[in-house]
Chain A
Amino acid sequence: MTASTLQRPQSSGTDDAAQLKPKRRITGRGMLHTYTWLIIAWLIVPIAVMIAFGFNDTPGRYNQTWDGFTFKWYGRLFEYSDLTSALVTSLVIAVVASLLSGALGTGIGYALGRYRFRGSGSLNLIMFATISSPELIMGASLLSLFVSAGAGLGPVTITIAHVMFSISFVAVVVRARVMTLDRSIEEAAADLGANGWTTFWKVTFPIILPAIFSGVLLAFALSIDDFIVTAFTAGTTKTFPLWIWGATRVGIPPQVNVMGTLIFAIGVLGAVIANIRSSRQGKRD
């Protein structure tokens, strides 16, 4: 993860022990290796099932037993217009919520990483509370607020809720980057005659931008996947997870599997690309 772990010297103690008791060390390590792969396999099983049943040639809406392989659901992806609009709702909310929480969270993260100020302790506490609070309680209390205030539930209240629980995650990511920032680069800019504003936009901001970007991505992922808080703040609005939830009793059509597969594929692809880019960046540094 960090340069220090990569450069960490091979511990000679491990090697000595390996020479003394070669068999035991190898089997211990081998067992852990096998075990880890078993756990990973277990983690992947339901994902594999979800992907597989997107290719299931099922006659009706009940997608429970395997009836042969087909690509047709990919072609008929948008057959259920309410499912499609739920997906669109989810995407729109995720975009708006991640951008908003990105902006608000960056402000908090930057301030916490850079300045010492009164009230930072309570701010840390409230952030900790939003990260560790059960979603159920956050959803229930937001519903209480909206009910008490007589506010109608819908996409706006969902977005408000998503921004609320995402801010702290963005702030934590940005704060970590700002804290490890090398101040001498900014000082160099100042020495070369740049004013505070120019220094920030030309030097500081580009350095923390990847952190902001990962914060926004995290917020997007949290928003598009969220079920519990959304269930409390949605009213009659349906997001993608809420639509699936509602459909469990009447049968979940294969289109849901296909959409889940596509979201999964795009997410994994995005993460891999981001990872390759950041590791290239790391090599350049």
Chain B
Amino acid sequence: MNRAKQKIAPYLLVLPGGIWLLIFFAVPMIAMLSLSLQEGDIVHGYRFTGHWQTYTEAISAYQTQIYRSLIYGAITTVVLIALAFPVAYFIAFYGGRKKGSYLFLVLLPFFVSFVLRTISWRQILTDEGPLLSPLRDAGVIGQSFHILGTPFAVIGGLVYNFLPFMVLPIYVALERIDPRVVEAARDLYANPATTFRRVIFPLALPGVFAGVLMTFVPASSDFVNSEVLGSSDTTMIGQVIQAQFLDNSDYPTASALSFVLMLVLLIGVFTYARILGTEDVMKVAAR
């Protein structure tokens, strides 16, 4: 009897949450796929017609925004690796007893709402704001110099908002490096640069990959930063999807675009997962 109980127990434990995930995560994907193949409008309702042309139409209408999002996402990710690696390295190797405090400081922005943080940046970067107006008065920048509305502002906002997601996984990977391995490299006459390149960096790679996963996907599908800090020249695909869904109620186009975006990102994620093995990515991502 006890054995039978042991067999059923995990299923009973998993069932409620599993069903929730199934109904509200997996099923909606199917609902969205179905919606993308329907025709009609919000007033008269939608009918399933298997209208694949929505996809080609949506892609050709918004390919600029799709490319732009991927490029912004990629630039954000590269900048993040460059910015976050030294921070993670310092905390992991020199943080000492203050490691926890440093990590806490890096996570501090999470205690403020994402929207509020981004709006705060707009307040700082605006033409009359505390950064640009003194510079303009001092003649350092010209009258027509702006930051808001430029790709620089949007990417800057993305980098700001996702930095902790890059620092943490790299830190976890570095933290797990056995100091004896680093010592061994030095004993074998590797100079610091070689030790870093041949020993530390390769061991940190799973962390970098997890960081890429945790930043590239949300950054390229973000619509808050480009809406708050950008202009019509920086429109990202997330804004298009959001507007089509919530303002225009053009559900088929919006669903089709969502699917295209998801497919593109999935291909990227699976390529990473294949290179590393899913286990490693999951392990690092889970910490």
Contact = CB atoms under 8 A, between A and B. Distances in A.
A135 B14 contact: no
Most buried by B among A114, A141, A244: A141
B25 A126 contact: yes
Contact of A263 (B109, B113, B182): B113
A140 interface: yes
B120 A47 contact: yes
A212 interface: no
B180 to A, nearest CB: 8
Interface string A112-151: 1011010110011011111111111110111111011100
A1 B100 contact: yes
B233 to A, nearest CB: 19
B11 to A, nearest CB: 7
A142 B123 contact: no
A53 B124 CA distance: 11
B14 A164 contact: no
Given A107-B17, A172-B286, A225-B114, A132 B269 contact: yes
A108 interface: yes
A260 B116 contact: yes
B105 A43 contact: yes
Interface residues of B, number: 97
Interface string B167-198: 00000000100011011001100001000000
Contact of A108 (B17, B114, B214, B285): B17
B185 to A, nearest CB: 8
B71 interface: no
A104 B23 CA distance: 14
Contacts of B183: 11-14
A124 B282 CA distance: 9
A224 B241 CA distance: 23
Nearest to B123: A49
A35 B87 contact: yes
Contacts of A75: none
Nearest to B254: A140
B224 A137 contact: no
B35 A148 contact: yes
Contacts of B34: 144, 148
B221 A49 contact: no
A263 B238 CA distance: 28
Interface string B268-279: 010000000010
B24 interface: yes
B75 to A, nearest CB: 17
Contacts of A39: 83, 87, 106, 163
Nearest to B259: A137
A5 interface: yes
B246 to A, nearest CB: 7
Contact of A227 (B2, B91, B113, B282): B113
* CB-based closest 8 A-B pairs: A104-B17, A46-B120, A141-B28, A13-B183, A134-B221, A115-B10, A144-B32, A267-B111
Interface of A: 1, 5-6, 8-9, 11-14, 16-17, 28-29, 32-33, 35-36, 39-40, 42-47, 49-50, 53, 64-66, 103-105, 107-108, 110-112, 114-115, 117, 119-120, 123-124, 126-138, 140-145, 147-149, 160-161, 163-164, 167-168, 171-172, 175-176, 196, 221, 224-225, 227-228, 231-232, 240-241, 244-245, 248, 252, 256, 260, 263-264, 267-268, 271, 275
Interface of B: 2, 6-7, 9-11, 13-18, 20-22, 24-29, 31-32, 34-35, 83, 86-87, 89-91, 94, 97, 99-100, 102, 104-106, 108-117, 119-121, 123-124, 126, 128-130, 160, 163-164, 175, 179-180, 182-183, 186-187, 192, 213-214, 217-218, 220-224, 228, 238, 241-242, 245-246, 251, 254-255, 258, 261-262, 265, 269, 278, 282, 285-287
